[in-house]
Amino acid sequence: MSIEKEVEGILINQTDDVVTVCKQVESGERVYWTRNGEKESVVALDRIPAYHKIACHEISAGQYVIKYGQVIGVSKQVITTGEWVHTHNLRSPETEYERKTPVLEEKFSLQQNRDSWKILGYQRPDGKIGIRNHVLILPCSLCASETARFIAENVKGSVYLPNQGGCSLSARDYEITIDTLSGIAANPNVFGTIIIGNGCEVIQASKLEEKIREKTCKPLYKYIIREEGGSLKTMNLAAAKAQELVTEAAKIEEIEMDISELILGTECGGSDPTSGLVSNPVVGKVSDMIITLGGTSILSETPEMIGAESILATRTKSQKLKTEVLTMISEYEKTFTSVGENPRNGNPTPGNLAGGITTLEEKSLGCIHKSGTAQISEVISYAKPIQTKGLVVMDTPGQDIASIAGMAAAGAQIILFTTGHGTPTGFGIVPVIKITANEQTAIQMTDHIDFNCSDVLKGSKSLNESGQELFALLQRVCCGEKTKAESLGFNDMSIARYCNFA
């Protein structure tokens, strides 16, 4: 068998048993990679599709197979060096014993001292520090959203978030909605808030006002359309007050703040094979840096944790947290099974399988790598305030914008959002940095992509180097540089819900 050429592969973690190829490899071609600074290679025994896996060495039958430094499955048979690794020779762990495997971590060390990571922010009267200085026009419900939009459009320097909820709510959805709206108003990126209500909605302006005042002492006013005599009169009154707040906000001087004050939200959407291979691990490097420097990072999207729950459980700081993680994911599954659905069915999807994802564990690992290697410090419900620094797991849906809203309500000042196919998403009060490792997406979606890490796939940069560059961008955004979504004025909004409209 003659060797025609060499093809570079991606070794994600130094402990991995498999390497991912970024283009189709023919039988007889040599695949090479770097492990611990040394070049290694194997000759492909099979045709291997793009983004699929090749065995770095012989793997015994029944052996754990490692990718991302963690177990993605168990070999069905002996896998020969250079063989294609996929569904024909790899399966998901089937027993609880197989799932309780040790986590193999590749630590990320800081390359600069702590003083070089200072950022700029705005001190709030409640003691929190924001990286933006917004005046928020906040509608209680969908019936007040258009009036809120009128107000924001007439007051430069204010922003509104559309609210398509706020009415026809079950008791559980009422709690979620009022927690989200009040948390967004309390977010440190907000200088002050003007509540706009219609008057008859389930989320009453007076109740929302009370909830916000429980969380913060920042400026807060409310106007109710029915009481003011219609949308136009409400707009005139509220716009005048909003202008006052914008003027007051402009007087607030930025101060130097420590990175430990930062709460980072992490999200992925429109994912493709490059997301799990590169962009999510790169975000994980930044998450580790934030936590090492005393800050907080949020791992969201509960459905994307199904299949990786045992791995997350090994990363908790206590038995109580372990139980909370496992219960959170189990309860999420129950909400599906209660209506006859099973979220594990169909995963990996045909598209995932074609893209080289073999097991549910491998798919979920690609997602949770946004959280880096830190231990879990806290598990919280959707939109609830964060009480502890470090890595926080939040129970959010997989719907990107609803997940972002929950993290913003918990106090996140900035979001790192990975996307393989590209997405325009932005969130009015919180900068959303869009990241891709798909070079074609970076070109086609240049209006929306802030950070292109496809160089890692080409082999010209390491994950650590790309992580350092993304952290530098995050620092600049924290100091005022606008994201693409901010420049375009995108302010998407969605809130999680559990029940159909009442």
What pLDDT, in 10s, does the model give residues 73-109? 999 999 999 999 999 999 987 765 555 555 555 555 5
Q: Given a cut of 80, is residue 116 above it in pLDDT?
A: no
Work out the average pLDDT over 419-439. 95
CA pair distance 354, 429, nearest whole angstrom? 38
What is the structure's pLDDT at 12? 83
- 93 or 396, greater pLDDT: 396
359: tokens are: 């097991």
What is the structure's pLDDT at 461? 87
What pLDDT, in 10s, does the model give residues 349-377? 776 787 788 887 888 888 899 999 999 99
Work out the average pLDDT over 417-431. 95
Model confidence band, residue 3 (pLDDT cutoffs 50, 70, 90): very low
Cα–Cα nearest to 467, from 453, 479, 454, 481: 453
Cα–Cα nearest to 9, from 35, 37, 46: 35
Output the CATH code of domain 134-251.
Answer: 3.40.1400.10
- 125 or 105, greater pLDDT: 125
CA pair distance 243, 235, nearest whole angstrom? 12
Mean pLDDT of the chain: 91
Spatial strand order of the sheet with 134-139 comes to 158-160, 134-139, 190-197, 220-224
Model confidence band, residue 501 (pLDDT cutoffs 50, 70, 90): confident
CA pair distance 71, 267, nearest whole angstrom? 23
CA pair distance 128, 143, nearest whole angstrom? 32
What is the structure's pLDDT at 69? 83
What is the structure's pLDDT at 96? 53
What is the structure's pLDDT at 1? 46
**CATH architecture for residues 6-99:** Roll (2.30)
Residue 348 preceded by cis peptide, ω within 30:
yes
Cα–Cα nearest to 189, from 484, 492, 431: 431
Model confidence band, residue 117 (pLDDT cutoffs 50, 70, 90): confident
What is the structure's pLDDT at 418? 96
CA pair distance 467, 369, nearest whole angstrom? 13
Model confidence band, residue 113 (pLDDT cutoffs 50, 70, 90): low
Q: Given a cut of 70, is residue 460 above it in pLDDT?
A: yes
Model confidence band, residue 335 (pLDDT cutoffs 50, 70, 90): confident
Share of the chain above pLDDT 70, in %: 94
Work out the average pLDDT over 138-153. 97
Share of the chain above pLDDT 90, in %: 75
Work out the average pLDDT over 468-489. 96
Q: Given a cut of 70, is residue 184 above it in pLDDT?
A: yes
- 406 or 115, greater pLDDT: 406
Least confident of 9-13, 32-36, 323-327: 9-13
What is the structure's pLDDT at 13? 85
Q: Given a cut of 70, is residue 272 above it in pLDDT?
A: yes
Q: Do domains 6-99 and 134-251 have the same CATH topology?
A: no
CA pair distance 312, 303, nearest whole angstrom? 13
Residue ranges of E strands in 270-309: 296-299
Segments making up each domain of the chain, as ranges: 6-99, 134-251, 257-488
